[in-house]
Amino acid sequence: MLVFLYFFAAMGVGYWAKIHGRNPALWLVLAVVLTPLGGSIALMLADRTGWFRY
């Protein structure tokens, strides 16, 4: 169950990336590697600074 919730949260980061016009597959992998919380913080910082605009 914990693994399911982990990947579900990572998919949420990918969905957030898709909404903001970024590559969702890249951010999904990043969220799985960095943990979903780390991925969402990295995506938030990338949105604010304009980095990694793919």
End-to-end CA distance of the chain: 33
Residue 16's pLDDT is 93
In this predicted model, what pLDDT tens digit does every residue of 9-42 receive, in sequence order? Answer: 999 999 999 998 899 999 999 999 999 999 999 9
Cα separation values, 31 from 11, 23, Å: 8, 12
**Local confidence band at 53 (pLDDT 50, 70, 90 cut-offs):** low
Q: Could you tell me which residue, 21 or 50, shows the higher pLDDT?
A: 21
Global pTM reads 0.83
pLDDT for 54: 59
